[in-house]
Structure 1
């Protein structure tokens, strides 16, 4: 189950970043002059879509985290991804409620790069986890001691 979830997380995060670009490109962000042409999207609408996509990615990330075995590197990366993702969401909510201060916008843009890198790291770790062959219990047949040979 983890592999389809990791692919869904990666695809969902990619779509989330595209929607975030639409939010940034269509909104009234700090530092813009009135002469700058913005993307022709309804800023409030794309912001809601961006938030819904983020909630979906958070759910998929949580399901993936729960599906991975405890102590595995893949689960560790999924946990770090979720922590960064929640922090990124907090910055996004803050910037919306605080009338888009430029520092918050910059932090949110930098955070998006961390979220994408985290999603890629999770997907790679899950892939590596799935392709690792478990080690058999006991000695290898080639290394086992031979049985006693009858004296002749």
Structure 2
């Protein structure tokens, strides 16, 4: 879902877990929400998403100390790895590197984020859910730590 000039994510509960494969379900639910349409309430929108500078992620690269910001970043990269079926950094040719976060962001920027999904899935997924995983992965791996979702 595109919102404003940035990235928008919508979280929704789902009861389709019995038939979902790993990346088809990512949502928030508990015993009290019962999957009611009124529970589809959480959306996150960013008005600007510039680029990802993985060479200067945040404090981890300078201090070698993990923080909740670096944990969220790592979780975002992990979600992208699972959804794309690719490693975080891959060599292309002898000298060029493809950085997964940047590649997925570029697919999103072009309006074709589904191109980043793992081709081995052969389209056998719920489109909205793979989009959610990819967009949430991008949000969690945002270059600005304060723009990432908070862990509570």
Normalising to structure 2: TM-score of the pair? 0.31
Give the TM-score normalised by the residue count of structure 1: 0.31
Structure (1/2) with the larger strand percentage: 2
Larger radius of gyration: 1
Higher-helix-fraction structure: 1
